[in-house]
Structure 1
């Protein structure tokens, strides 16, 4: 009886191992992988054009000043792209202090649902055969320092942000499974008392973005980061338009550029926000964001 039991266990292990090997046959054939070649991870391209929409997105545009209210925001996001539609829930915590001279910010995707086509799967060398699943995203930690404000020249803000490697589903090419960082200087100048009470705020920024890759010859990709735009505000409404992006040096769809339109409605204490982000280059998604923001002094 004991011999029969051991034979049964051995048979199950053998079948399980065989099935596991068979599971990757489709990927090996599509990508030309053979025994002795480097790991499947080296077949991935760690750049915004070959990953999910939340892996290496163009950072949020800052506007030259520390916002004066503490904030907790919850947002629902829909990313539309041929062959890769993605939905997620993101969160943000923002805390200014020291007389609004410094602020800390923590944000990231708490839950992501994805579904991509075989064409997208094979282009990205993903190992998720059916292209469907859920995962969590990377967590970002940001510190912002008001350099100067309310002077004759434009306001200036320094932002330094670290990206963690908490995002999952590397095998589905959704996140990088590696850290990164970026920093930038943003500037703005407020022009009030325009026609009928409108306020104009032009802004812009320049910075640097770096993230780790899986290239043995170049372990990181470095990029110049930029943005430019303007706000129009009246009463409890704020309209924002901007262009933003960054330019990596490897020329592997690593130069994303996006257009942002944002509409924000201030409530009695809190706020509602709608944002459209349209990919112009490399990051080829159209993103819709609906957010509710709790605010307090």
Structure 2
């Protein structure tokens, strides 16, 4: 058993492959590329495109994500909640990846400079949270729904040496817009889009595909539609951001969501397809429980 443990801890193969420590110094986590194209699928997620409105219901969501692509197979639990703080004015949202498991190919292991020789592992993930404030309501302004979002990502995600999470902060600020194109007793459809700014910390290591800067900044954008019919809600959008460093820091996703609600419970299904920088095909399933509605603030 002692021989096996020593073999697992031996990183001579990694040192030779990545010219350690001459390439970037004695700290192995400094060799990572803090870029969405060189990390796991949960590390630097594309922010969700909302519909430009305040969700006035308290709810909790629990489910799982299944990511496939780019030589990476990742499964993770997913938790989310929505907490309206003032009806039609402001809401708090949060989500987390409490646990993920992963298996990567040898080529992906070496491309990401991962230290796990067998390309397998488990770790905890980040927490994402923020606030959405209403700016305009189309029923009152006669024009558009407009909300402003501020969002942060924590540094709770672990295993940077295996390129799973960034272990760095990430912030974004954006405006979300929507316009209802039709609305009747049974169905409705709205067009939605977002424009904003996103920033995250990187590793300044000067390695191939690495960064010569400590921060990457990116415009954030997205456009899509949302259709409701009875108890069904269907949404589809294309969303992404584009960093200025150019090391696969420009992910673009085509995302699709279906939600069926029966009284206080909802069933959620999603399919997301990576178009640029990310090769993921992500399937997501969840159960949502609606606790209640926001109180009037007057």
Fold shared per TM-score above 0.5 = yes
Give the count of matched residue pairs: 281
Equivalent residues in 2 for 1:1-297, closer than 5 Å: 19=6, 23-34=10-21, 37-38=24-25, 39-149=27-137, 150=139, 151-193=141-183, 197-215=186-204, 217-295=212-290, 296-297=292-293
CA distance in 1, matches of 2:24, 2:134: 51
Shift of 1:59: 1.1
Q: Which runs of 5+ in 1 are unaligned?
A: 1-14
Shift of 1:198: 3.0
Structure 1 or 2: larger helix share? 1
Shift of 1:141: 1.9
Greater CA deviation, 252-261 or 79-88?
Answer: 79-88
Q: Which runs of 5+ in 2 are unaligned?
A: 206-211, 294-298
CA distance in 2, matches of 1:34, 1:44: 13
CA distance in 2, matches of 1:166, 1:99: 31
CA distance in 2, matches of 1:20, 1:177: 27
CA distance in 2, matches of 1:162, 1:281: 23
TM-score normalized by the length of structure 1: 0.90
Higher normalized contact order (CA 8 Å, seq sep 6+, divided by chain length): 2
Shift of 1:20: 8.3
Deviation track 1:62-89 (CA, whole Å, cap 9, x = no partner) reads 1101111111110211001142100000
Shift of 1:37: 4.9
In structure 2, the residue corresponding to 1:171 is in which secondary structure? helix
CA distance in 2, matches of 1:121, 1:66: 42
The structure that has the greater radius of gyration is 1
TM-score normalized by the length of structure 2: 0.89
